[in-house]
C-alpha cells in the first residue's frame, strides 16, 4: 500500500455534528478522508415522524454533503436498506417476539453500520474507518488495539461498540474520544459549522420514531393481548402485547395503582407486575454469545459490568461456565433484562460484551 493510500480513511457521515467534527479533525491530522453516508430504511407510515429520525432524512444527507464540500472531501451515499431490514429490524422483531428486550443500536453497529463502512472501504482499497463515537482506541504495550471509555463520561459510547469484532479495532479511528460534547460544538462553530447548533438531537431509533413505535411493532407482530398478573398470580389488568413492555417499566401499564414490570411469562402470555420495587433487584445473571475484545481470561475473574446504555457500572465476579458467563454482582442491581447487552470492563478498558440470557433467582 502506497503512502497516499495509507492516509485515506472512510468517515461514516450521519449529517450530525459528531461525525462532521470527526471528519474535520482527521483532515487536520493529515488523513485524506472520504465521507460515506449510509442510506437506511424508514418505516413509511403517516404516524412516523421522519423529522425525528435525524440520521435518515434527506436533510441529514444534505448536511453531510455540505460539510464535505466545505472541507474539500468527496461524499458518497451507500444504500444498505435491504441489509438493515434483514440484520437490524429482523433482529429487533425476533427479540420482541421472544419476550426479550432488544438493543438494536449495538447490533446495528456490529452487523450493519461499521461493518458496511469497512465493506465500502475494502471495495475502494481503503484500510481505515472512522466514526463520531465517543470512545477511544488505545494501543497496548504489546501492540494490541483496545477499546476504552471516552473522557466525557456523560457521552461515553464504548458500551455501544462492545460487540464489534476484535479484528476491526486496529483499523478503527475514533477522533472524539478525548473531547466533550461542548468542545465538539465549539470546534464546529469555530470552523464555520455553526448550523449544527439548530439541528435537533434525536433519541429515537433511526427507522421509527418513539411516538410510532407501538404501532410499528403491532404491524410487524400483531396484537397479542393477555393478562396482567401480580406476583401472587392474581389478575389485575390486560396488557396490549408483551412486546410493549420491559422489565422495571412503571408508566403506561394502565393500572389504577403504582407498580413495576417484574417479568414476562411467555408460556401464559402474561405480564407479571409487582408493587415492591425491591423485587426488581437481582445479583446474578447469565450472559451468552460473549464477544471478547481481549485475550480470553482463564477461570473466574473480577471486572465491572454495565447492563444497559447510560447505566453506571457495578463490580462483579465473572464465572465461565460451558461457553457462557455467570455474572455475580457485588451489590444488587435493578432491572436485569433478558435481551439487553452486558459489557465488561477492566478499568477504562472494555473487554467485550454479550447478551443477557436470564436472571438467576437468589
Catalytic residue numbers read 108, 206
Q: Which three cell numbers stand for residue 204?
A: 429515537
- Name the phi and psi angles at 89, rounded to 5: -65, -40
Dihedral sign (CA 39, 57, 154, 253): negative
Q: Cβ(39)–Cβ(85) under 8 Å?
A: no
DSSP state, 93?
H
Provide the angle, in degrees to the nearest 10, between the axes of the packed helices 58-71 and 17-28.
Answer: 20
Q: Which three cell numbers stand for residue 348?
A: 477504562
Q: Cβ(206)–Cβ(40) under 8 Å?
A: yes
- Least Cα distance to 138 among 151, 127, 125 occurs for 151
- Helical segments of the chain, H only: 3-6, 17-28, 58-71, 81-84, 90-97, 104-108, 114-123, 181-190, 213-221
CA distance 237 to 250: 14
CA distance 320 to 326: 6
Amino acid at each position: 500500500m502506497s503512502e497516499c493510500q495509507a492516509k485515506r480513511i472512510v468517515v461514516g457521515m450521519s449529517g450530525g455534528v459528531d461525525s462532521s467534527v470527526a471528519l474535520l479533525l482527521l483532515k487536520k491530522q493529515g488523513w485524506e478522508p472520504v465521507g460515506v453516508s449510509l442510506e437506511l430504511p424508514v418505516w413509511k407510515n403517516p404516524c412516523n415522524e421522519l423529522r425525528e429520525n435525524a440520521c435518515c432524512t434527506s436533510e441529514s444527507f444534505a448536511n453531510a454533503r455540505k460539510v464535505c464540500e466545505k472541507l474539500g472531501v468527496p461524499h458518497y451515499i451507500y444504500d444498505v436498506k435491504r441489509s438493515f431490514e434483514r440484520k437490524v429490524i429482523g433482529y429487533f422483531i425476533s427479540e420482541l417476539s421472544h419476550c426479550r428486550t432488544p438493543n438494536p443500536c449495538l447490533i446495528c453497529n456490529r452487523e450493519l453500520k461499521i461493518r458496511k463502512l469497512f465493506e465500502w472501504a475494502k471495495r475502494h482499497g481503503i484500510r481505515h474507518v472512522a466514526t463520531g463515537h465517543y470512545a477511544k482506541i488505545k494501543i497496548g504495550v504489546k501492540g494490541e488495539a483496545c477499546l476504552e471509555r471516552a473522557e466525557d463520561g456523560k457521552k461515553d459510547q464504548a458500551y455501544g461498540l462492545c460487540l464489534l469484532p476484535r479484528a476491526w479495532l486496529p483499523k478503527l479511528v475514533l477522533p472524539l474520544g478525548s473531547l466533550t460534547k461542548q468542545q465538539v460544538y465549539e470546534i464546529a462553530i469555530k470552523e464555520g459549522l455553526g448550523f449544527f447548533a439548530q439541528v435537533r438531537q434525536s433519541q429515537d431509533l433511526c427507522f421509527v420514531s418513539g411516538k410510532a413505535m407501538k404501532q410499528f411493532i403491532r404491524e410487524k407482530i400483531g396484537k397479542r393481548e393477555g393478562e396482567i398478573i401480580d406476583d401472587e398470580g392474581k389478575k389485575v389488568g390486560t396488557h396490549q402485547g408483551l412486546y410493549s413492555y420491559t422489565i422495571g417499566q412503571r408508566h403506561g401499564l394502565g393500572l389504577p395503582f403504582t407498580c413495576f414490570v417484574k417479568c414476562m411469562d411467555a408460556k401464559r402470555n402474561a405480564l407479571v407486575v409487582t408493587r415492591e420495587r425491591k423485587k426488581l433487584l437481582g445479583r446474578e445473571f447469565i450472559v451468552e454469545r460473549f464477544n471478547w475484545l481481549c485475550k480470553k481470561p482463564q477461570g473466574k475473574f473480577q471486572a465491572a459490568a454495565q447492563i444497559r446504555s447510560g447505566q453506571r457500572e457495578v463490580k462483579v465476579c465473572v464465572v465461565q461456565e460451558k461457553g457462557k458467563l455467570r455474572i455475580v454482582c457485588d451489590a444488587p442491581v435493578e432491572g436485569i433484562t433478558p435481551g439487553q447487552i452486558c459489557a465488561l470492563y477492566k478499568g477504562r478498558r472494555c473487554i467485550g460484551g454479550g447478551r443477557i440470557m436470564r436472571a438467576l433467582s437468589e
